Structure 1
Amino acid sequence: MPYQTGFATLLDFREATERVREQLRVWLQQKRYDVDRFDAGEAGLSPGVVIRYAATNDVSGWQLQESRHDGVTWVSTVAVTRGVRRDHAWISLNVEPVVSGSASPPQAAPPKLVRLLLGAVDAVDGEATLRPHPMVVNAAGVDDLLEIVCAEERRLPVVVAAAPTDVPFDRWRATVNSLVRYLPGLASTYLLDPVAVPAFNDGIGVTYAIGPGAVRTYLPSVDPAISEDSVRHRVLSRWRIEKEPARAARVLGVLPRQLAAAALPAAAARGLNLSVGESRRARDEPAGETTSLRAEVKTLTELLAIADDTEQQLREAASRHQEQVLDLAADLEIAQAELERRSATVRELQRRLVEAQMYDLAYSPVEAPPPLPTSFADLLDRLNQLTDHVVFTGNMETCLDLDEQMQSSAWAQTGWQGLLALADYAAASTNNDFAGDFKTWCESPPNGRYAISAGKVARDESPTVRNNAKFSATRVFPVPESVSPSCEIFMGAHIKLGNSTTIAPRMHFLDALRRDGHIYVGYIGPHLPNTLT
């Protein structure tokens, strides 16, 4: 995924363009490129490095092309677009790798340029201020932060970190600065000092609160009055931050990066779409020199080739997003049908109780179940809540990698529901209360027991996978010696956690209840290789 963002600045178009040019020059100088050539308007700054300027009456921008020895060409585009009001403009930035053939492009990290820009201009997202590093908030600033979190007009997430009381503040501030290193330009970031934490939590409400040492990402459209919506605003626990800081930083950056690209304003997008062919800048080479013209044609041809590759990558990304939307729509339809079935059951049972004049039982409130996990890190932390019959033997790192995907929260919730269903099934089977397998259990679960949609359960892999040594080997997972002398075994049974065509996560398990009274979950991760992957 490329790094892409756009934000407003409280500068007019001319001043914003000049500030961007100044910071672009600093960035090029940091890269040790020939800035004298840049100042002179020349395209070539170094071997394999070309920069072009383009402008119209309302947009001005630069595109930098850097060809590396590893076959990757990095294309960085920064543009300024005139705002609707004369006293502000839009700054947009896109950095993406272009690779030839079927090789996977590397991840684009936030460029140093965005930090330079945020330090040089007054960048805003509605009422939120965008800065290179988190802004410290004390008790006096809590009300302003609450206004920012709940503001209707912001597009980007607000990431709020809560300082603990048992760690020196400066040390925790350094931890948070490192944690949010992938967020410049993608979110507004704030650090509550220890005194401000309880004041913020009192103002935002218990379901939207942040524990000391935790970090919470508040997406747009926060309404503290709607407690059910709080699960949408993810929490990164202190334990996870301290245990795996590098992974925590990556996980924290996934959603803001995708939202920033999806919520790019039309004005900012127009700046990124500025064509080099629209440049009004005079060529510095004499038009009559054949060599200069050939060099110019060569450069433009390379830029067009990159543009074609970029367009193809964008089409592929749009296709993946379309498939994800369709998958989510299908999951939503299934969930709504299941919810309606259960609601109808509740209504019918209430009616029967009323007819039997058992009014207290009909309408007495039911104890709310604990909230579902919002990440696979949370799921793994809850494994000790399961019965002894369900044992996880898989690779935790593979499972945690799923948290770096946008749909990880929904997948983790499905996974936890699957584990709860396995636990109930195992308990009933060992007590001789149920004689079928897990899929049969889900097709017709006993009353009051946990189950998931039977359509998500597969009893085994297809013969094509089982009989292919290459494919079957990837589905061999650890078990105790009491189950297999080799301490590993093929696990074909699995639960479908999601249908995304790029990840399609699965949970593979072995039903060994009749061997030693346990179900072993050997794998939670992306779809394993088959004939389609």
Structure 2
Amino acid sequence: MSVLYRALWTCAPDDAEQHLQQARELFAAWATEATGDVPQLSDGPTVVTLQRLRMPERQPYTVERSVSVRAVEDNEGAHGFEGTTRETSAGMTWTTIVRVVAVAGGTHVWVENQAESERLVGVRLAVGRPRIVDDLLAACPSARLGGSGLMVEPQPIPSGAVPILVEHLQSPDRTLPVIVVSQPNNDDGDPGAWLRRASRIARRVSGVATVATLDRAAVVAFSSELGPLATWDGSIRVYSPVPVADGEGYRHRYTLRHLLEDEASERAQVDRIVYGVCALSTRRRPPAELDIFATPVAAVDLSNFMSIDDADGLIRELQSQLDAVQEDANETVEEHDALARDLSMKVGHLSRLQKALNEQGLHNLFYETQHDLGAGIPDEADSVETAIILAMDWLSDWLVIHDDAPQALDGINTSAKAGAWGNTTWRGFRALAAFAETRDGGGGFAGTFYDWCKSDPPLGWPATPKKLSMAESDTVQKNAVLSAKRVLPVSTEVDPEGSVLMLAHLKIAEGGGNLAPRVYFYDDTAGPTKKVHVGFVGPHHLMPNTRS
């Protein structure tokens, strides 16, 4: 099960009881798709039969939607309801949860969309808000999440109101992404296209982001206020819910106008924007007022007390778990510090590069290459699986990932660290490919991958024991069982048997326990293929050592 969308907001209606009742009626109308009188859904489950059309032939068919309602209350006067719908079609199960609770001072709303699939990979989901969100927001014009108001429609910002928008973007109280859509410098025969695009985005992200539109006059004022962090000439920028500050453009994703010029490209870029803000929404933690919806815990039978020996054993086990978590945390802090140092060095390098370009009269080149234009090698990968796909698409001239290399990625791709591991794996793949390219004449480098990384090239990998091993310990190599685990698949161009002993590996993460990803590779840059070959991408526990 994956959470695709999570909207949270608070309301301050004149009558909380009336608002609660209205929300329940809106849920009933939406869940049953009632066109006339709204049915009264009592607590408990029910099944609704709905009519659908199978596109593009518009063939009618029916689906069964399971609907359940549960009333909740606590001892302090808070009370509300939880409504859930679930329907399955073509191997995909969609679940929508609506939770509304009335407390002293107002109401709290939680809407969540979830999906389950019978297929593990290759499923492309249409992400966006459930339509019930529009109805619930219309019933509460004062809806807010922290310092951000929620709106269903795009908000046009005239030039005189640009300072207010900038103040909001720079506010530490802002809790929602703001998607700014700018008017093109010329309309190419369709002056309303950019506004329709903004409306499509706003409908899909209502509840989890707000959309603002800037006409040409407002674009000039906005650019004057934010400089390179602004949005202009038909482009779209997603301002993440962090205060906008100079030098942090990487936090606020930018989509250039030329990527939106045809229907297919526009659809892909809009999906990318919507997926990004919806994924961000799933990380929000509901406020304490919504704890009332937690699943009730059954009463504990205390008739049989634990013995002292059992208690001691439990304490030792919990202490061991605590020690492991603490070690994981310490390793994560060390990795963060190393990345911070690396980032500082890269920032310094960029600053010196910008100065050199300015002195050569090439200052425009610096900004033109600042953002991923969508036509070159992507900057990011949102999972290890995505990193593998991107490597096969973009790096195959220098890097070969064997079809059998990916192993047991389900736990890695669903981990809370999936995004970080995906980006780090992608960085590792790019480093291996850049090394192979350099070895084959793009610089004539004669050393090993470790030597190359130590020379601090732009795409290098950290040449530290915590991130890179060019060999395994003597104990592992002399142990027949452990060594056999490192005999990994490779192209028959490298070895006629289709496998070689691979000892060199990237440590994608030290923390993360047994799930921490590893990438084992074989350097054939001096061999017939002139490439680096990856024979394993998967969790650490599949490559045991003497400490495992």
TM-score above 0.5, yes or no: yes
CA shift for structure 1 position 73: 7.4
* Equivalence for 2:184: 164
The structure richer in strand per residue is 2
* Equivalence for 2:241: 220
* Equivalence for 1:24: 27
Q: Indicate how the Cα distance of structure 1 residues 71 and 275 shifts in structure 2: closer, same or farther if over 3 A, else same.
A: farther
In structure 2, how many angstroms separate the alpha carbons of the residues matched to 1:390 and 1:103?
22
* Equivalence for 2:100: 79
Q: Indicate how the Cα distance of structure 1 residues 513 and 32 shifts in structure 2: closer, same or farther if over 3 A, else same.
A: farther
* Equivalence for 1:137: 157
* Equivalence for 2:385: none
The gaps in structure 2 that reach 5 residues or longer are 49-63, 299-324, 356-365, 380-394, 407-412, 473-481
- Output aligned runs, 1:298-317, within 5 Å: none
Among 209, 214, 218, the residue aligned to 1:192: 214
* Equivalence for 2:305: none
Q: Indicate how the Cα distance of structure 1 residues 333 and 16 shifts in structure 2: closer, same or farther if over 3 A, else same.
A: same
- Output aligned runs, 1:264-413, within 5 Å: 264-267=285-288, 269-270=290-291, 272-273=293-294, 329-336=333-340, 366-368=352-354, 377=374, 380=377, 391=397
Cα displacement string for residues 467-523 of structure 1 (whole angstroms, at most 9, x for unaligned residues): 56xxx3xx769xxxxx89x9x99997776666778795969796546658x657999
Cα displacement string for residues 4-29 of structure 1 (whole angstroms, at most 9, x for unaligned residues): 22112242423431331242133124
Q: Indicate how the Cα distance of structure 1 residues 66 and 426 shifts in structure 2: closer, same or farther if over 3 A, else same.
A: closer
CA shift for structure 1 position 339: 7.2
Cα displacement string for residues 181-211 of structure 1 (whole angstroms, at most 9, x for unaligned residues): 54221112222233322321221232x2224
What amino acid is the match of 2:450? Answer: K
What amino acid is the match of 1:435? Answer: A
In structure 1, how many angstroms separate the alpha carbons of the residues matched to 2:122 and 2:102?
32
Contact kept, 8 Å, 1:376 with 1:409, in 2: the verdict is no
* Equivalence for 1:437: 448
Q: Indicate how the Cα distance of structure 1 residues 77 and 532 shifts in structure 2: closer, same or farther if over 3 A, else same.
A: farther
In structure 1, how many angstroms separate the alpha carbons of the residues matched to 2:130 and 2:258?
29
What amino acid is the match of 1:18? Answer: Q
In structure 2, how many angstroms separate the alpha carbons of the residues matched to 1:381 and 1:201?
26
What amino acid is the match of 2:101? Answer: V
Give the secondary structure class of the aligned counterpart of 2:234. Answer: coil
* Equivalence for 1:306: none
2:73 aligned with 1:62? no
2:250 aligned with 1:248? no
In structure 2, how many angstroms separate the alpha carbons of the residues matched to 1:178 and 1:408?
27
Give the secondary structure class of the aligned counterpart of 1:153. Answer: coil
Contact kept, 8 Å, 1:6 with 1:268, in 2: the verdict is no
Q: Indicate how the Cα distance of structure 1 residues 66 and 92 shifts in structure 2: closer, same or farther if over 3 A, else same.
A: same
* Equivalence for 2:134: 115
Contact kept, 8 Å, 1:34 with 1:45, in 2: the verdict is no
Q: Indicate how the Cα distance of structure 1 residues 221 and 229 shifts in structure 2: closer, same or farther if over 3 A, else same.
A: same
In structure 2, how many angstroms separate the alpha carbons of the residues matched to 1:273 and 1:438?
51
Cα displacement string for residues 70-107 of structure 1 (whole angstroms, at most 9, x for unaligned residues): 59473523213335xx3x43222234357999999996
Structure 1 stretch 55-64 or stretch 246-255: which is displaced more? 246-255
In structure 2, how many angstroms separate the alpha carbons of the residues matched to 1:257 and 1:235?
17
Give the secondary structure class of the aligned counterpart of 1:195. Answer: helix
Contact kept, 8 Å, 1:411 with 1:505, in 2: the verdict is no
* Equivalence for 1:124: 144
CA shift for structure 1 position 35: 4.1
- TM-score, with normalisation over the residues of structure 2? 0.60
In structure 1, how many angstroms separate the alpha carbons of the residues matched to 2:284 and 2:505?
36
Contact kept, 8 Å, 1:61 with 1:271, in 2: the verdict is no
Cα displacement string for residues 111-130 of structure 1 (whole angstroms, at most 9, x for unaligned residues): 21112212332122345332
Contact kept, 8 Å, 1:136 with 1:191, in 2: the verdict is yes
* Equivalence for 1:93: 111
* Equivalence for 2:462: 453
- TM-score, with normalisation over the residues of structure 1? 0.62
* Equivalence for 1:229: 248
Contact kept, 8 Å, 1:504 with 1:526, in 2: the verdict is yes
Percent of residue pairs bearing the same amino acid type: 16
CA shift for structure 1 position 270: 2.9
* Equivalence for 1:301: none
What amino acid is the match of 1:138? Answer: P
In structure 2, how many angstroms separate the alpha carbons of the residues matched to 1:323 and 1:253?
37
What amino acid is the match of 1:183? Answer: V
Contact kept, 8 Å, 1:497 with 1:507, in 2: the verdict is no
Give the secondary structure class of the aligned counterpart of 2:186. Answer: coil
If asked which structure has higher relative contact order (CA below 8 Å, sep 6+), I would say 1
Residues matched between the structures, number:
435
Cα displacement string for residues 377-423 of structure 1 (whole angstroms, at most 9, x for unaligned residues): 576169xxxxxx9946889xx9xxx9xx9875896588568747864
Contact kept, 8 Å, 1:52 with 1:276, in 2: the verdict is no
In structure 1, how many angstroms separate the alpha carbons of the residues matched to 2:259 and 2:108?
36
Contact kept, 8 Å, 2:98 with 2:112, in 1: the verdict is yes
Contact kept, 8 Å, 1:126 with 1:154, in 2: the verdict is yes
CA shift for structure 1 position 324: 10
Q: Indicate how the Cα distance of structure 1 residues 411 and 64 shifts in structure 2: closer, same or farther if over 3 A, else same.
A: closer
CA shift for structure 1 position 165: 2.9
Q: Indicate how the Cα distance of structure 1 residues 221 and 322 shifts in structure 2: closer, same or farther if over 3 A, else same.
A: farther
The gaps in structure 1 that reach 5 residues or longer are 278-320, 347-364, 383-388, 478-482
In structure 2, how many angstroms separate the alpha carbons of the residues matched to 1:507 and 1:373?
32
Q: CA RMSD in A?
A: 5.5
In structure 2, how many angstroms separate the alpha carbons of the residues matched to 1:407 and 1:177?
31
CA shift for structure 1 position 331: 2.8
The structure richer in helix per residue is 1
In structure 2, how many angstroms separate the alpha carbons of the residues matched to 1:252 and 1:75?
22
What amino acid is the match of 1:151? Answer: S
Contact kept, 8 Å, 1:373 with 1:416, in 2: the verdict is no
CA shift for structure 1 position 155: 1.8
Cα displacement string for residues 415-471 of structure 1 (whole angstroms, at most 9, x for unaligned residues): 5687478647754774886432222322x42x8887431254566999656756xxx
Contact kept, 8 Å, 1:93 with 1:272, in 2: the verdict is no
